[in-house]
Homo-oligomer: A and B are copies of this chain.
Amino acid sequence: MAEPLDPEMFDPVCPSSAMPIHIGDKWTGMVVLCLEGGRRRFNELKGPLRGITPKVLTQTLRAMERDGLVTRTAYDENPPRVEYELTPLGRSLLTLIEAARAWSKDHLPALLQARQGHDAAPGPRLLR
């Protein structure tokens, strides 16, 4: 249905935690991106979502399903197969993610630099 997901599509060293904008909870935005190209199976998602535990991935997907962002389709086969797919509502988040990316491209370096400068300061710089 779609190319395999690139296991390295998310840079583990990327300072995304510094981003002042977040989509849903920790993994939600990445899940949306993983599903952008089409439906994916549970274990397929675990590739790029490096280090996510099945418990947390399940939680994340269930919450997204509840909010109408993804659909879950279970096929009655053995071994089991379950596929997740973005709904139009879920797809609408892509515009927000794009806005976040644009912001980070334009401003994240400045934020990081401010943070680093602040951290490097020996202390509350007393006037002298």
Contacts and interface: CB of A to CB of B under 8 A. Distances in A.
Given A96-B99, A100-B96, A20 B107 contact: no
A111 B95 CA distance: 16
Contacts of A110: 68, 89
A103 B107 contact: no
A103 B92 contact: yes
Interface stretch (A36-44, A51-59, A114-122): A114-122
Please tell me how many copies of the chain the complex holds: 2
A38 B18 CA distance: 25
A45 to B, nearest CB: 18
B118 A106 contact: no
Contacts of A20: 23-24, 28, 67, 69, 93, 96
Interface of A: 18, 20-24, 28, 65-69, 89, 92-93, 95-96, 99-100, 103, 106-107, 110-111, 113-115, 118-119
